[in-house]
Structure 1
């Protein structure tokens, strides 16, 4: 009787395993190509972005849409700044729009992956993670005319410090922003070594939790240097949070694209079309133009082309460690 029970349990386990294998094989058979995307997504048109599900029953068309913007700085700042835009979307789409003040880029990616976010603004590095792991489909960016906003990775030190070049920071306290941040972690790992400073070897990166925290830490003397996004520094100077003469730049990179705006891959195509129309007919408020360095509207983007330099840097740096 005992061995019969064991055999039964083994049989059930094997049956379950066969079902899992069959399910996985069916999923693979249903998707001819997915590239770098998570196994739950498909990219048969090879545009590097998750395809809309073929089965219309999987499309989502909710009357309440939840969105978030990358927590590059204090989330409360963006909640206030984007309020007129959120109100515009409500009127334009005829739906309730809820802005959710997310606390970290990792949380934002997970919220989209789990279906809690319907659209969002992601900063440069996390855009790749959102596309590959969360089925995000980038479609817009901030800009002026037909030019997308760009920024640089910069290395800042205290104005009174003795440091003149990156190699001077070996063995010192250097702040990175967060794991998936492009300028705040991934790009320094790819670009600093050729300047004589290798993160993880010449110094142990200290994750500050945000570009603004890194900058303030340098000013306060908590860090000897910080790897940050140039546009964040400019905004903090313009808001009076940091004096321009309090810090010095000892390195700056070529231009990177700035934040992307994305929608969840499984939103109904009709909703996506309406959302794009509402994004592209919105003119930024004076407060938004001031905050975003003169950008005054959203422009359409092609992820494969616009983020190619970011993907190249990410591949060169390798997967960022936790």
Structure 2
């Protein structure tokens, strides 16, 4: 048997140690990261990236680069956000630049690479931005009622005394919209199952195809109840398609937010506080933002784990993985529509 010279064995040991040491060091420096990409850490377990531990990795860029969830023509929103960007400049003392992007994945990759500092992400893409780009959610648009968004509601005929809660849906015939509908199917399956009522098992699901069809089906007695978006019901009542007195709501879900605003995790803490101040102090009334987003009045603080609970639960229940090579993420590379 050939014996290796002691010097060669010593060299091999040193090489192996050099390869293993960085891996062990990386593992030691992050006690918990949850579903976040290995680039980030979540030791306080709030589901978003912690600031870098090394102060040298904190940045205070000038200009601050901002964008909003991309549409087919990214230039559409550059003018819409002009008044807010001027306000942001005044509060932070930094210049700003609007960065038009073609799709959600490009938006996420721009923040991951450090080319984007503040962004409004769509409801679903925010989850990928948090996990893959170190985005830290901080704000959501508000309207006169509070956080801007919509709810899943369960409706039944106003005179139906047999259904007063989700528990009363057992054994009934309930309209869902379609298997791909968030508020019209995926959300009911997620929320009701957690409440001890499993759709398709504890009650019969009937797919109506459309929210308004579900509403009309309840009014006409075709279904015992229906799971629909409250915004659709409100519009039907406003157009006198149905009367408010025709139905009653027996369940209202937490709000489904429409967009979340986030900053890059490695911004200097003092700058982050100024950015938050700019968001929370900005009033939409009489501004370019208010003209574009009618009915919205300003921003509210966002708590990701709480405010995106429904979105996260639905995505997880449907087997979505938050990685750059997942089929779902690749779909975000297509041109976006609001």
Please tell me the TM-score bracket, short chain as reference. Answer: 0.5 to 0.7
Deviation at 1:19, TM superposition (A): 3.7
TM-score (norm 1): 0.65
State the distance in 1 between where 2:314 and 2:116 align: 27
Corresponding residue for residue 304 of structure 1: 305
In structure 2, distance between residues paired with 1:187 and 1:71: 25
Q: Is the 8 A contact 1:122 1:260 kept in 2?
A: yes
How many Å separate the matches in 1 of 2:230 and 2:113?
A: 32
Q: Which runs of 5+ in 1 are unaligned?
A: 1-7, 154-164, 177-181, 198-228, 235-244, 246-252
Structure 2: distance between partners of 1:52 and 1:83: 29
Q: 2:265 maps to which residue?
A: 265
Q: Is the 8 A contact 2:49 2:135 kept in 1?
A: yes
Per the alignment, residue 333 of structure 2 pairs with: none
Deviations 1:24-81 (A, max 9, x none): 2211100111111111111111100100111111100112111111115642221111
1:294 is matched with 295
Determine if the alignment matches structure 1 residue 275 to structure 2 residue 291. Answer: no
- C-alpha contact 1:72 1:123 (8 A) present in aligned 2: no
> Larger Rg: 1 or 2?
2
In the alignment, is the contact (CA less than 8 A) between 2:78 and 2:100 conserved in 1?
Answer: yes
Deviation at 1:144, TM superposition (A): 2.9
Distance in 1 of aligned mates of 2:285 and 2:72? 20
Q: Secondary structure at the residue paired with 1:39?
A: coil
What's the counterpart of residue 148 of structure 2? 149
Counterpart position of 1:113: 112
Match of 1:237 in 2: none
Q: CA deviation at 1:190?
A: 7.9
Number of residue pairs the alignment of both structures matches: 250
Distance 1:19 1:293, change over 3 A: farther
Q: How does 1:206-285 map to 2 (within 5 A)?
A: 255-285=255-285
Change (3 A) 1:264 1:32: same
Distance 1:139 1:146, change over 3 A: farther
| 8 Å Cα contact 2:84/2:289 also seen in 1 | no
1:132 Cα deviation after fit: 0.6
Q: Which runs of 4+ in 1 moved over 6 A?
A: 14-17, 186-191
CA distance in 1, matches of 2:129, 2:65: 16
Kindly tell me: are residues 111 and 188 of structure 1, through their superposed partners in 2, closer, same or farther at Cα, counting changes over 3 Å?
farther
Q: Give the TM-score, by structure 2 length.
A: 0.62
Distance in structure 2 (CA, Å) of the matches to 1:72 and 1:299:
24
Matches within 5 A, 1:34-53: 34-53=33-52
Q: Which residue of 1 aligns with 2:320?
A: 319
Q: What SS does structure 2 have at the residue aligned with 1:28?
A: helix
State how far apart, in whole Å, the 2-side matches of 1:319 and 1:67 are.
Answer: 28
Relative distance call for 1:114 and 1:17 in structure 2 (3 A) is farther
For structure 2, which runs of at least 5 residues remain unmatched after alignment? Answer: 1-7, 153-174, 192-198, 208-228, 235-240, 242-251, 322-326, 329-338
| C-alpha distance in structure 2 between counterparts of 1:146 and 1:113, whole Å | 34
Note if contact 2:141-2:296 (Cα within 8 Å) is conserved in structure 1: yes
Sort the Cα spacing of 1:284 and 1:28 in 2 relative to 1 into closer, same or farther, 3 A: same
Question: Which secondary structure does the structure 2 equivalent of 1:319 belong to?
Answer: coil
SS in 1 for 2:36: coil
Give 1:73-112 correspondences, 5 Å limit.
Answer: 74-112=73-111
Shift of 1:84: 0.9
Deviation of 1:92 after TM superposition, in Å, equals 1.9
SS at match of 1:46: coil
